[in-house]
Copies of this chain bind each other. A is one copy, B any other.
Amino acid sequence: MSATVTLMHVAREAGVSPSTVSRILNGTANVTPDKRERVEAVIQRLNFTPNVQAQALANGRSFSVGVLTQNISSPFYGETLAGIERGLEGSSYHPLVVSGHWHAEQEQQALDLLMRRRVDAMIVLGGVIADAALQDVAARMPLVAVGRDVRGLTERCVLIDNRGGIGQVVRHLAELGHRDIAFISGLETQQDAVERREGFEAAIQELGLSLRPELMRRGDYTEASGERDTEDLLRSGVTFTALVCANDQMALGARLALYRRGVSVPEDVSLTGFDDLFSSRYTTPPLTTVHQAVNELGQQAAETVLRLLAGELPQMTPYVPRLIVRESTGPVPPSFPAGGLLMHDSS
C-alpha cells in the first residue's frame, strides 16, 4: 500500500507551487512551457492521479450522475444502462448506479445514497416511488426520467408511446385474421404497464372486437409470470389464436408454457412481446415485438442530462416505437373452428 502521491508532492518534486500544478492539470491559466514540461514529467514519473473527492469538495462538483435503476441484471435495464454509459462517454461525468428493485422504500434509500454522494444530476429509470420524491430531487439538481411521466417534469421525461406500440401489435394481428386475442399485462403499479393494457383495450375496441375479460391476465413482467399466466389461460379452456404479452420477458415465459402444452407458434397461436430485447431475435421462433431502442433511450437520457448540466434547454423528442414483425406471428390456423377448442395434443 504505497502512500498516495498528491498534487503537493508533484509540486515539490518539480520545484513549483501547488497552484501551478493545479493550473496545468485543469488548463486554468497559461504556464511557462518549461515549467509545464517539468511538471508533466514528474506527474508521469510519480504516476500521479488527482483525487476526485478533493476536486469535488473544492469546486462543488462531483462529476458523477446518479442513476436509479430497478434491477441491474434485467436485460431491459441492462441495455438502458449501457446506453447511459455510452451517452456519458467523452464527457467527464460518470454514472453511479443503484437499484431500487421496484420497491418505494428502496428507491428512496437509493436516492438518498446518491444525494449523499453529491451526484451532480440524476437519471431515473422507471420505478414506483412517488412523483413528489422525484420533484424534490429535481428541485436540487437536473433530473431526467426514462419510461415514466413525472408530474410537473414531463418535459424532462424520455417517454415512449406505449399505447401506440401495443396498437400496432393488435392491428398487425387483426390483419392476420385474429379475433380471439389474449393479453397478459404487467403490474398496475407501473405506469407503462397500465398504458400498455389500456392501449390493448383501446385497440381491440377500435377494431370493433369485443373486450373479453376471460382472455385477460395480470402478470408482473417476469418470465415466470408469463409462463404461469399462459398456463392458466390454457387450462381455463378459453379459445384464442393470438397471445399478446406486455413485455418480451413474459412472452418468453409464455413460449415455454405453450411448448409444454404442445401448442405450436405461430401455427396454433401467434405470440407477441414488447421491448425488443436483444435476445428476442433469438427465441424460437424469433419474436414479433415492439422495438423500443432501450439502448438509445438511455443514451438520449444521458445526453439530455449533460445538456442540462451545461445550462442548455431540455429539447426532448418523444420516442415512437415500431413494430418488428418476425416469425412468432402468422395467420389464423385455417383449421381453427370458430368458437371451437384450441387444444392440440402433441404426439
Q: Give chain A's interface residues, CB within 8 Å of chain B.
A: 1-2, 4, 49-54, 56-57, 62, 71-75, 78-79, 81-82, 85, 94, 96-99, 112-113, 115-118, 139-141, 223, 227, 252-253, 255-256, 259, 278-279, 281-286, 295
Q: Are A282 and B118 in contact (CB under 8 A)?
A: no
A50 CB contacts on chain B under 8 angstroms = 116
A140 CB contacts on chain B under 8 angstroms = 1-2
Q: List 7 A-B contacts (CB under 8 A).
A: A49-B116, A52-B117, A53-B56, A73-B78, A82-B99, A94-B113, A223-B278
A116 CB contacts on chain B under 8 angstroms = 49-52
Q: How far is the CA of A139 from the CA of B2 in the complex (A)?
A: 8
Q: Which applies to chain A's interface (DSSP): helix, strand, loop or mixed?
A: helix
Q: Are B279 and A259 in contact (CB under 8 A)?
A: no
6 closest Cβ contacts across the A-B interface?
A73-B82, A73-B78, A284-B284, A78-B78, A53-B56, A252-B282
User: Which chain B residue shows the least CB distance to A254?
Assistant: B282
Q: Are B85 and A81 in contact (CB under 8 A)?
A: no
A283 CB contacts on chain B under 8 angstroms = 283-284
A8 to chain B minimum Cβ distance, whole angstroms, is 14
Q: How far is the CA of A94 from the CA of B114 in the complex (A)?
A: 10
Q: How far is the CA of A49 from the CA of B140 in the complex (A)?
A: 13
A54 CB contacts on chain B under 8 angstroms = 57
Q: Are B72 and A81 in contact (CB under 8 A)?
A: yes
CB contact between A78 and one of B74, B113, B256 (< 8 Å): that residue: B74
CB contact between A223 and one of B97, B223, B256, B279 (< 8 Å): that residue: B279
A97 CB contacts on chain B under 8 angstroms = 97
A160 to chain B minimum Cβ distance, whole angstroms, is 18
Q: How far is the CA of A344 from the CA of B137 in the complex (A)?
A: 61
Q: How far is the CA of A279 from the CA of B140 in the complex (A)?
A: 40
Excluding A49-B116, A73-B78, A75-B75, 15 further A-B contacts by CB distance (< 8 Å) are: A4-B118, A50-B116, A52-B116, A53-B117, A73-B79, A75-B78, A78-B78, A85-B99, A96-B96, A223-B281, A252-B282, A255-B284, A256-B282, A279-B279, A284-B284
CB contact between A118 and one of B53, B113, B227, B256 (< 8 Å): that residue: B53
A284 CB contacts on chain B under 8 angstroms = 255-256, 259, 283-284
A141 CB contacts on chain B under 8 angstroms = 1
A130 to chain B minimum Cβ distance, whole angstroms, is 16
Q: Are B82 and A282 in contact (CB under 8 A)?
A: no
User: Which chain B residue shows the least CB distance to A94?
Assistant: B113
Q: How far is the CA of A85 from the CA of B284 in the complex (A)?
A: 33
Q: How far is the CA of A57 from the CA of B4 in the complex (A)?
A: 12
